[in-house]
Structures are given as C-alpha cells and as structure tokens.
Amino acid sequence: MSELLKVRDLHVTFVTPDRTVHAVNGVSFDVRRGETLGILGESGSGKSVTLRSILRLHPEHRTRWSGSIEVEGEDVLKMGGRALSDLRGRRVSMIFQEPATAFDPVFTIGQQIAETVRRHTGKSEADAMKRAKDLLEMVRIPSPAQRLKAYPHEMSGGMRQRAMIALALSCNPSLLLADEPTTALDATVQIQVLLLIRELQREFDLGVIFVTHDIGVAVEVSDRVGVMYAGKLVELASVEQMVDAPQHPYSRGLLASTVHDGMRGQRLEAIPGAPPDLSDKPTGCSFAARCKFAQPGCTAAVPDLRSTGADHLVRCVLAEAA
C-alpha cells in the first residue's frame, strides 16, 4: 500500500493573550491507502487537534504550526487559500463528532450535499442532487428521495451521522478523517455506523484516521493504533500488538481500565492522577507523574520513540529496543 499521508514532527500551539497551549508536540505518522489508523487517548491528549490540523481547521490568527503534513506529496501547511479550499472535501474529508452542529440547520440535507458536489466537480444542480440521492442510498438511509428534503433536526442522530458520512464521501476523497463519529450514538446505532465506515473504506480503498477514546471502537475499525498522551504519540503498533502486548505504561493503563466480559465483581483499575497542563509542559516523560514504573531518569529528558519490533514504536525508557 502506498503512503497517502505523511505527518512529520508536527507541533501545534495555540496562542492567546492569557497563555500559550502546546497542544501537539512532535507527532509523526503515516497513513497508507486502504488502511485505518486509530488514534486513542484521553480527552485533552491532542487527538482531535492533530486530526483537524490535517485540514487546517484551527483559527489561523491564534494557531502556530510547525513540521509538515503531506497529502499525496503536497504539504498542507504550505498551501494557500484556493489550494486549501480544493483539498477540503475533495481529497480529504471529515466526519465530525456531532452532525447536529456540523450541518447547517437552515438548509436541507440534499442542498448541503449537492452544494459540495457542485463546488468540487462542477456538476449541474440536477446532477448534484441525483448524486446526493445516490449517496444517501449508499449509506442505507431509507426513502432517500424524501430525506433529501429533510432538515437536519428532522432526522434521528443515527440518520444524521449517516448523512454526514454521505457528505464526506460525496466527492470521492482519498483520505477520510473521523473525529469520534459514534460518541453521541446509542450502542446499536454505533455498531451500525462503525460497520458502515469499515465497509465503505474497503470498497473505495480509503485511507482513514479514526479518533476515539474508546478502546473497543479502536480495535473494531483499526489496522494500526496510535496512543497519544499530552500531545505526543507514546505508542504506535498494529491492533493485534496493541491488544496482546502493549508496552507503554499508559497504553497498559488504558486497556486495564476498560470493562470487558468476565469482570463482574472485580475492581476496575484506573489510571491515577490527571493529564498535565499543556500550557506548562513538564520536563522529561509527561506520563511520569502518573506512572507506577517511573524512575528518577524519566523526568530528565523526553524519551525517544524507539522501535521494539516490527512496526511497533514506544516512547518509554523501559521499552526494550529491537
């Protein structure tokens, strides 16, 4: 599989009159065609900031980027306004966490999908609306001709999320970004949406980045999983390696704090403490203050992301190099 996305040493900093927040601190990863990369971590770990940076969705006036984000060989951080507009929705698209706020409430679902199709393909209004109907049918929305005329508030949460997937796929993108797209859905609908995304990813050979805080979801949809903490990737491995042999203490803690079959009557092991304040970055390993394996040297310097085996990278002084 060829590389579709290359992110190298990405830093994202938010600057306000009151403080400076170092939200992403040197993240590097690749996404190949036909692959799903899951990004896992607690709230505030930098997952969504990283994802939105790929489309440069953060406010330009208070965001500072460094590093590179290459989509099919072109650096997004060097793109001008027109090139960036052409990238969004056409080559890279996004499924947002809450479609009720992502859709414009004063336009119908059909109008919003058709507008995107016309912007990027030049189709006529009639052809764009036909494309919108075909997309709603593809994501298995019943009575698609009638749903074209529906406003977002007239659809259930599951139907809105399916419509958001249809919008994201309307111009045949190469890379699909999914920002916790099942968080607001009940368990049954969540499974349906996950299976739909996985099926469409395989059908269209999409590269997908799936951001979530739910380990079960990450395992269900991902080929590889990256674990983020305090704006850094602390572990990157295949989903099998991550489940069977996680090596970073934070990854182990996430897995240990997840409820699964056979745990009735057992105490759930929680990770103590809280994530650090990213306006005041800690020296050394940012997880050291919460880690039961911490040693004096852990706070001396930031550990490198080292290889511990085939396609397995870990940022920990205790990790054994391959």
Helix extents (H) in the chain: 47-53, 81-87, 99-102, 109-121, 125-138, 144-147, 157-168, 187-204, 215-221, 239-244, 249-256
pLDDT in tens, 130-153: 999 999 999 999 999 999 999 999
The DSSP secondary-structure symbol of 7 reads E
Checking if the pLDDT of 262 tops 80, the result is: no
The whole-angstrom separation of Cα 312 and Cα 254 is 18
Q: What's the confidence (pLDDT) of residue 321?
A: 58
Contacts of 49 (CB under 8 A, 6+ apart): 12, 23, 24, 58, 231
Confidence of residue 257 (pLDDT cuts 50, 70, 90): confident
Query: Tokens for 139?
Result: 């994501």
CA-closest candidate to residue 230, choices 156, 283, 164, 306: 283
Confidence of residue 192 (pLDDT cuts 50, 70, 90): confident
Checking if the pLDDT of 184 tops 80, the result is: no
Do 320 and 304 touch, CB atoms closer than 8 A? no
Confidence of residue 322 (pLDDT cuts 50, 70, 90): very low
Mean pLDDT of 243-272: 83
Percent with pLDDT over 90 in the chain: 66
Query: Tokens for 317?
Result: 């002084």
The whole-angstrom separation of Cα 104 and Cα 86 is 20
Residue given tokens 């930031």 in the structure block: 302
pLDDT in tens, 49-63: 999 999 999 999 999
Checking if the pLDDT of 19 tops 70, the result is: yes
pTM: 0.91
The DSSP secondary-structure symbol of 148 reads T
As a CATH number, domain 1-91+174-260+268-276 is 3.40.50.300
- Ranges of each domain in the chain: 1-91+174-260+268-276, 105-172
Mean pLDDT of 230-252: 94
Contacts of 77 (CB under 8 A, 6+ apart): 56, 65, 67, 68, 69
∠ Cα 277 16 304 (to 5°): 40
Q: What's the confidence (pLDDT) of residue 320?
A: 67
